[in-house]
Structure 1
């Protein structure tokens, strides 16, 4: 587990554009989908970053456009972030000062547990495990800095 790359300031590190590849596995059905696109982290009025992701999602042979927006606000301690949905609802905290972080997000009766790992200056990964009565999923996302 010594493969982590510490990030002293998560907002400064994430600023810019990233290529994104995500797999979505439904553990109950065995189905697997794929998202490919770009995430841009741009300045947010009042501080923080606006995370805008766009691309295509393929599920059961059907490819559709997909997008999402999050707000990465300054966190409670230096170098950390408070992640919010586009409408301002809390999502999770993010502290990559060690290069690794685990966050939980309860959503109705399901629990989202995210593991964040920074590999080097230009590569990081998130793995979300979603479990509960409505979902049994693993979402693995790889980010590579777009130069």
Structure 2
């Protein structure tokens, strides 16, 4: 890859619908799962975006419906986002002005560390590394704009 694609305003950039493909690898067991679905970043009352993801997650050969909801609120600096769980708890900041951002989220005994990269106007990726006493996971997600 020849570098990153800078994003002036993360909320403006993410608005719309994205195809999602995520691999989940358990580095301890060697098990691997696959999520395929759609993420919609729609307007949130009061400003920001509501991130709604739905699709099918297949783990150990068993497909199951899966979904999650996040809130992407305007961040402290112009063009950035304050990402929160559906219930409003803080998740992480997001600043894609350089096309790349590293975020961390401590969760009980686990640490979630992500790298966000933007390839171009229609493609971006996240790679989460999750480590803790009972977890050693890598979640790689590719997003491609729909339409």
Distance 1:139 1:62 in 2: 18
**Counterpart residue number, 1:66:** 66
**For 1:42-67, what per-residue CA distance to the aligned partner results, in whole angstroms no more than 9, with x for missing partners?**
00000000000000000001000000
Instruction: Work out the CA distance in 1 between the residues paired with 2:135 and 2:91.
Output: 18
Q: Over the residues paired in the alignment, what is the CA RMSD in angstroms? A: 0.8
Equivalent position SS for 1:91: strand
| SS at 1:4 equivalent | coil
CA distance in 2, matches of 1:66, 1:23: 14
SS at match of 1:82: strand
Aligned mates of 1:45, 1:134 — CA distance in 2: 38
TM-score, normalising length: structure 1? 0.99
The runs of 5 or more residues in structure 1 that have no matched partner are none
1:136 aligns with 2:102: no
TM-score calculated relative to the size of structure 2: 0.99
Please report how far the alpha carbon of residue 134 of structure 1 lies from its aligned counterpart in structure 2 after TM superposition: 2.0
Question: How far apart are 1:3 and its partner, in Å?
Answer: 1.5
Using the alignment, how far apart are the partners of 1:114 and 1:16 within structure 2? 22
Q: Determine the structure 1 residue equivalent to 2:47.
A: 47
Question: Paired residue for 1:125?
Answer: 125
Unaligned runs of 5+ in 2: none
The 5 Å alignment of 1:1-147 reads 2-147=2-147
